[in-house]
Amino acid sequence: MTERVLIKDLSALADGPVSVSGWVETVRDQKKVQFVVLRDESGAVQLVNPRNSDADGVVIADEPATTISALTQGSFVTVTGQLKHDERVKLGGIEIKLDSLTVSTFALAETPIAADSGIDKRMDWRFLDLRVPRNALIFRIQTTLEHAFRTYWVERDYVELHTPKLMSSPSESNAELFKLDYFDTTAYLAQSPQHFKQMAQSAGFGKIFDIGPVFRADPSFTSRHATEYTGVDAEISWIDSHEDVMTMQEELLVAGFTAVAAKHGAEIKELFDVDVVVPSIPFPRIPLLEAKEIVASRGHVVDRNDDDMDPEGERQIAAYVEETFGHQFVFLTDYPTSIRPFYHMHSDENDALTKSYDLIFRGTEITTGAQREHRVDVLEAQAVAKGLDPNELSVYLDFFRYGVPPHGGFGMGLARVLMLLLHQGNLREVTYLFRGPTRLAP
């Protein structure tokens, strides 16, 4: 039996016998010849089957013609035949003249989604939606991006951790929590690996990263929120300020974008009409207060009762940075303590500010990062100031009672990066199986 060949590898082969497998994309059943476009995970190829006729020119019902006539779109088949290079063939300049065709599974004749189906309908039938080459490419890009991140970290002696997603107490706050029964007690799905990342610093790991699921019971229906998403987290010891964390993250993103551009740049341009821009280093840095003044000068005033930057403000500051610096990224720094967690270190110059940042990419926040407070007495005082009971944080606070170096880190949403990289308007497009307030299937 001839060994199966991926369609993308056919062009490099000499004319001769080959075997390919995939799903049927189209069938043209003509009187004298049949054409089938077959697609596998790597590409598409045209199959050709000249039909046999008797002396009177009547088509003979033989194989594989009879089977081809019965094929439905999406049926999975294996074929053997003769590969032929022919520049007249529009699909890749090659075709396969059939010797045999075996059907693994027939598909139902009517497919439930079409090219113009809405996003909710496509999400209902995601496994069919992902057969579209443009959609499938997203997850090859994701694979390359994650591999580049890991390579950057591993080459610099980081340790990869897989932190637990079942927790005995909230990791961030009592808001946006999923609770579940856990034997005779209550457990929570982790909103963040934050506490465990910091525990690794106390353990002396020095530099760690964690790529894994994050859960937020957020009833938001925006295009950039999900109840479960993949978080990209890192934490490093012996830093002087959050600037060290920012430097590491911008280097990480440059490594990721460089890998994506090299491996998928041409396909992304063809299928998404997007040029992958590898950002220059350093990324622009703007204190939050200054950023709000810039945004106001552009005609948008952030609510004075809001200590954060609102979504329109993020878009406006990104537009300013693009116009002024020709850059798609900007770090917003010096966030007030009022909107930051108790474990963010306060500024040495202004106790009302934190040594923290948000990273904005093409007008949308993708990251929050900071230097953490590592002095347990200060940490307890900041928890109390936030209305938290230190007794309920005892397990976390114990990490700091036996010595821990100055440290900091960030958390980044993988799907948001992909969404913005590919200029998509909705997180659902770049999430393998999306989870939101009204979606738990498939």
pLDDT (mean) for 361-379:
97
Q: Residue 38: CB partners within 8 Å, gap ≥ 6?
A: 7, 20, 22, 23, 24, 25, 44, 45, 46, 47, 77, 79
The percent of residues above 70 in pLDDT, for the chain, comes to: 98
Which among 176, 265, 161 is positioned nearest to 226, based on CA atoms?
Answer: 176
pLDDT for residue 57: 67
Query: pLDDT band at 433, cuts 50/70/90?
Result: very high
The helices-and-strands tally (H runs, E runs) of the chain is 11, 16
Which among 271, 231, 143, 225 is positioned nearest to 434, based on CA atoms?
Answer: 225
Structure-block tokens of residue 397 = 């606070």
CATH topology of domain 7-105: OB fold (Dihydrolipoamide Acetyltransferase, E2P) (2.40.50)
Q: Residue 439: CB partners within 8 Å, gap ≥ 6?
A: 123
Query: Is residue 368 part of an annotated ligand binding site?
Result: yes
CA angle 167, 170, 171 (to 5 degrees): 85
pLDDT at 401 over 70: yes
pLDDT at 1 over 70: no
Query: pLDDT band at 193, cuts 50/70/90?
Result: very high
pLDDT for residue 31: 85
pLDDT for residue 173: 59
**Residue 34 φ then ψ, to 5°:** -115, 140
pLDDT for residue 67: 95
Query: pLDDT band at 171, cuts 50/70/90?
Result: low
Digit-coded pLDDT (tens) for 142-158: 999 999 999 999 999 99
Q: What does pLDDT average to over the chain?
A: 95
Provide the CATH number for the domain formed by 124-430 in this structure: 3.30.930.10
Question: Can you tell me the distance from the alpha carbon of 292 to that of 300, in angstroms, rounded to the nearest whole number?
Answer: 9
- Please state whether beta strands 207-215 and 159-160 pair in parallel, antiparallel, or not at all (unpaired): parallel
Which among 235, 166, 169 is positioned nearest to 404, based on CA atoms?
Answer: 235
pTM exceeds 0.85: yes
Query: pLDDT band at 221, cuts 50/70/90?
Result: confident
pLDDT at 407 over 90: yes
Judged by average pLDDT, the poorest of 153-157, 166-170, 215-219 is 166-170
pLDDT for residue 56: 65
Length of the chain: 442
Digit-coded pLDDT (tens) for 253-298: 999 999 999 999 999 999 999 999 999 999 999 999 999 999 999 9
Judged by average pLDDT, the poorest of 50-59, 96-105, 163-172, 207-216 is 50-59
Question: Can you tell me the distance from the alpha carbon of 290 to that of 169, in angstroms, rounded to the nearest whole number?
Answer: 37
> E strands of 238-362, at which residues?
285-287, 329-333, 356-361
> What stretch(es) of the chain map to CATH 3.30.930.10?
124-430
Question: Can you tell me the distance from the alpha carbon of 312 to that of 275, in angstroms, rounded to the nearest whole number?
Answer: 24
Query: Is residue 414 part of an annotated ligand binding site?
Result: yes
Digit-coded pLDDT (tens) for 298-348: 999 998 778 899 999 999 999 999 999 999 999 999 999 999 999 999 999
Query: Is residue 47 part of an annotated ligand binding site?
Result: no
pLDDT at 172 over 80: no
**Residue 366 φ then ψ, to 5°:** -120, -10
Whether the Cβ atoms of residue 245 and residue 236 lie closer than 8 Å to each other:
yes
> What stretch(es) of the chain map to CATH 2.40.50.140?
7-105
Query: Is residue 118 part of an annotated ligand binding site?
Result: no
Whether the Cβ atoms of residue 122 and residue 88 lie closer than 8 Å to each other:
no
pLDDT at 55 over 90: no
pLDDT at 384 over 90: yes
Question: Can you tell me the distance from the alpha carbon of 292 to that of 308, in angstroms, rounded to the nearest whole number?
Answer: 9
Q: Residue 258: CB partners within 8 Å, gap ≥ 6?
A: 148, 278
pLDDT for residue 179: 94
pLDDT for residue 305: 77
Query: Is residue 319 part of an annotated ligand binding site?
Result: no
pLDDT at 248 over 70: yes
